[in-house]
A = this chain, B = another copy of it.
């Protein structure tokens, strides 16, 4: 049932998702769902934990940097597959997959020699970047290099007086040419952050 709920939300988005559509999908009357979950909120909790379960757990036998890098890419992949989850990953009652994930990430940093304060800093900046990037990617519609250009052009056409915004104009004209690649963009920022953490850590 949770699987069906996730699949439905993937298809129709968060706004189209609900108890009644889900019931229909399962060939059942809406109230039947309430035999398995207390309410819609609890259902969403379970769905978010499924998404957490799709994120690769950090493994202990690599260096912290490549481990963190892998889990960042994996997290982005999960959020890309389930865009409806982006705003809910940290806001809901945490499930077991959520706890395992956070525990493993924190464990990776601490075992790598990060001080407690430093580990908190590192965790915070990485997660903020990952979630924020996923949010932008979803909202701006920059899915692929091609669609990024299309989205940029579409935005440009809705602007009344483009000449008032010369720098924006440059973006929407040059971005399609240069072939913006969201995956590469994500890794660029991620590496900038990991570089920064690497440098600061050596100073301990």
Interface string of A137-171 (1 = CB under 8 A from B): 01110000000000000010011000011111011
Looking at A26-34, A49-57, A115-123, the stretch in contact with chain B turns out to be A115-123
Nearest residue in B to A135 (C-beta to C-beta)?
A: B131
Contact B120 A175 (CB under 8 A): yes
Contact B106 A167 (CB under 8 A): yes
Copies of this chain, whole number: 2
Interface string of A107-132 (1 = CB under 8 A from B): 10010000011001100110111111
Interface string of A33-67 (1 = CB under 8 A from B): 00000000000000000000000000000000000
**A183 to B: closest C-beta gap in Å:** 12
Given contacts A159-B99, A167-B106, A196-B196, contact A128 B120 (CB under 8 A): no
Q: Does A176 contact B (CB under 8 A)?
A: no
Interface residue range, chain A: 35 or more
Residues of B with C-beta under 8 A to A155: 94
CA distance A155 to B93 in the complex (A): 8
Contact B132 A133 (CB under 8 A): yes
Nearest residue in B to A197 (C-beta to C-beta)?
A: B192
Given contacts A116-B174, A165-B100, A193-B193, contact A132 B121 (CB under 8 A): no
Contact A106 B136 (CB under 8 A): no
CA distance A137 to B138 in the complex (A): 20
CA distance A120 to B124 in the complex (A): 23
From the candidates B88, B107, B127, B159, name the one contacting A136 in the complex (CB within 8 A): B127
Contact A116 B178 (CB under 8 A): yes
Q: Does A102 contact B (CB under 8 A)?
A: yes
**A63 to B: closest C-beta gap in Å:** 18
CA distance A130 to B124 in the complex (A): 12
Contact B136 A90 (CB under 8 A): yes
**A199 to B: closest C-beta gap in Å:** 8
Residues of B with C-beta under 8 A to A168: 99, 102-103, 106
Contact B131 A136 (CB under 8 A): yes
From the candidates B106, B129, B139, B180, name the one contacting A90 in the complex (CB within 8 A): B139
